Amino acid sequence: MSIVAEFTIGADGFALAETFRAVPDARIEAERVATHSREWVMPFCWMTGGDEAAFTDALENDPTVDSCRIIEADDGTTLYNIHWSDDVGSLIDEIIDQYGIVLEASGGDGTWFLRLRFLTRDQLRDFQAHFAHRNPEFEVHRIIEPSEPRQLEYGLTPDQLEVLRLTLERGYFRVPRETSLATISESLDISQNATSQRIRRGLEALLENTLEVNGDGDRVGRNP
């Protein structure tokens, strides 16, 4: 059974410290990517809560970013494609070397929150020892070691779990719908675009973790 750990690390010891100082209201969330390649750990990031022009300018001048470009922007939410500096890449390599799989990465106000999956508790202990020594702002907040596969939350982040529960409870998926995206957005105090993206990414994570691929490349349901 795998182990999931949630921890924070200061932006000064990871990435975008200068960007967060320049645009303190901004929050960034990496697209959920579980991979063992530094190139694809955090290539796409959503920005909300900050001025797009100011954030883009700060990104372009941040020493932890080699290059960036806007993929799409709508209703206060902007998707960036970011190529990280070698320093950030090296840190990602260290995470991979310690057998951690990145399930979630988000940052704001000078701090990053990361959720990682490990195959064994020994791997988690080695990871904790390595990064606690490397960065004094590294702190583990929660360790999830479920006894049953159904308790893994199917790879959902807390925000994704919240929005899916809310949409389900209020009848968003019923026919006809009993609530609107605008109403859900107001309840969460985020934009409709951000709500839509959160629902989409949550459903994607849910499907990826409840379906598997058979030998012919078709997806088949897992047994509960």
**How do the pLDDT tens digits run along the chain, 224 residues long?**
678 888 888 899 889 999 999 999 999 998 755 445 555 567 889 999 889 999 999 999 999 999 999 999 887 889 999 999 988 888 777 777 777 788 888 999 899 998 888 888 888 888 887 777 767 678 888 787 765 444 445 667 778 888 998 998 889 998 888 899 999 999 888 888 888 888 988 888 788 766 643 344 444 333 33
The two tokens of residue 116 are: 């990682």
In a 10 Å sphere around its CB, with 0-12 CB exposed, 13-18 middle and 19+ buried, how is residue 194 labelled?
A: buried
Chain-centroid distance of CA 136 in Å reads 23
Neighbours of 103 (CB within 10 A): 20
Angle, CA of 81, 82 and 85, to the nearest 5° = 165
Question: Phi/psi at 167 (nearest 5 deg)?
Answer: -65, -35
Distances (CA, A) of 142 to 22, 74, 104, 138, 174: 30, 34, 14, 13, 35
Strand partners, 108: 27, 111
Structure confidence at residue 40 (pLDDT):
52
Structure confidence at residue 192 (pLDDT):
85
Structure confidence at residue 208 (pLDDT):
73
Q: Rg (Cα) of the chain, in Å, rounded?
A: 18
| Domain boundaries 150-221, CATH class | mainly alpha
**Does a cis peptide bond (omega within 30 degrees of 0) precede residue 176?**
yes
The two tokens of residue 150 are: 């159904």
Structure confidence at residue 53 (pLDDT):
94
Structure confidence at residue 111 (pLDDT):
92
Domain boundaries, the chain: 3-145, 150-221
In a 10 Å sphere around its CB, with 0-12 CB exposed, 13-18 middle and 19+ buried, how is residue 137 labelled?
A: middle
Structure confidence at residue 97 (pLDDT):
76
Sequence-distant (≥ 6) Cβ neighbours of residue 133 within 8 angstroms = none
